Amino acid sequence: MIAKGDAVVQSVTVSRGGNRWYASVLAKVDQTIPDKPTRAQSARGTVGVDWGIRHLVTLSQPLDPATDRPVDLLDPADLRVANPRYLDKWTRRLAKAQRALARTEKGSKRRAKAARRVGVIQHRIAEQRATAVHLLSKRLATKFATVAIEDLNVRGMSASARGTLEQPGHQVRQKAGHNRAVLDAAPGELRRQLGYKTSWYGSTLAAVDRWYPSSKTCSSCGTAIPKLPRDQRVFHCTACGLAIDRDYNAAVNIARHAVPLVERDVKARGSPVRPASDGRHGRAGRQKREDPPTVGGPPRQEQSTDNPTHRQLHSESRKRKARTSMQLTKGPLQAHRG
């Protein structure tokens, strides 16, 4: 693309993660972003995505349909994406490296070497997790016209249950393990990537309200049951007698009740674009402060410009300090460059 003139390299950023070096190339590319889904995406329609820990996601229809059988007759494994659980695979090596780090003396060379070993393992876990989420999010965004998800409160799901001294928490160790499993599955990162990848490939991101009982509602008749324990993997409807996998039932409800989201403009990496500053009041939209109106007293008088105010004296003091620091650093730098 560079040889043809379709891309111009803006910058190259070199960074180090773990024991590897990375070069991030930022290029300006002229590309047409589709404003509607393709025929293949429109034929697949809407897919409901039920996120979980036992399985990474359960879909209302398979990613790659290899048969013409209806969805009700498919194997449940065809509708699930396995959770790789990279943190569990590296737990023993990570714990061993962290124990070795704890036995070293602060400031020693062995401690620095042990810290690098821990950083290498954590970096590999993060890279493997990011790769799995990127592959899944791209397949969802490119194969369906609408991707329906849940509006999950990840911070609340992964909150600590330790409590306080007056009111200590219950099952703290079990909750800590659950929090690690939630963060290892990265539901927030999947939501973030779907937010900008759907706009890249012409699809739409939709979400249901976080308080909607997708797992407790029957996907056939719409009846909601009061309780559904976590260990009960099959949903039984008391009204119509439907017996169905609870995750698949939730995925179907998410696909039916999701509302398209209006996403803000995003950069190439998916972060929201911050509006430019107008140059007068710092950030855009910041208004100049006005003095509050006086109540029960005379109006404020304009201060005379003959006597300097405290703000003016403070401003002059800051300018003098800045000039002094510039004079102190200007000489050595110029001498070093010469």
316 among known catalytic residues: no
- The reply to whether 105 belongs to the active site is no
Catalytic residue among 35, 75, 127, 247: 247
- Name 213's Cβ contacts closer than 8 Å, sequence gap at least 6: 224
* d(C-alpha 147, C-alpha 132), whole Å: 18
Number of other residues whose CB lies within 10 A of the CB of residue 112: 12
Instruction: Spot the catalytic one: 50, 75, 290, 306.
Output: 50
| Three-state secondary-structure class, residue 16 | strand
In terms of C-beta distances under 8 Å and separation of at least 24 residues, what long-range contacts does 52-56 make, across chains too?
52/83, 52/185, 52/247, 53/83, 53/178, 53/181, 53/182, 53/185, 54/83, 54/247, 55/80, 55/81, 55/82, 55/83, 55/247, 56/80, 56/81, 56/82, 56/83, 56/84, 56/132, 56/136, 56/185
Instruction: Please report the sign of the dihedral spanned by the C-alpha atoms of residue 147, residue 149, residue 151, residue 157.
Output: negative
Selecting among 75, 78, 88, 150, the annotated active-site residue is 150
CB atoms within 10 A of CB 138: 15
Q: Report the amino acid identity of residue 275.
A: P
Q: Is 247 a catalytic residue?
A: yes
CA distance 313 to 326: 20
Closest CA to 218 of 200, 236, 233: 236
Q: Are strands 55-59 and 80-82 parallel, antiparallel or unpaired?
A: antiparallel
Residue found under tokens 């061993």: 96
Report the DSSP beta bridge partners of residue 55: 82
Q: Give the integer Cα–Cα distance in Å for 139 and 132.
A: 11
- The residues carrying an active-site annotation are 50, 150, 247
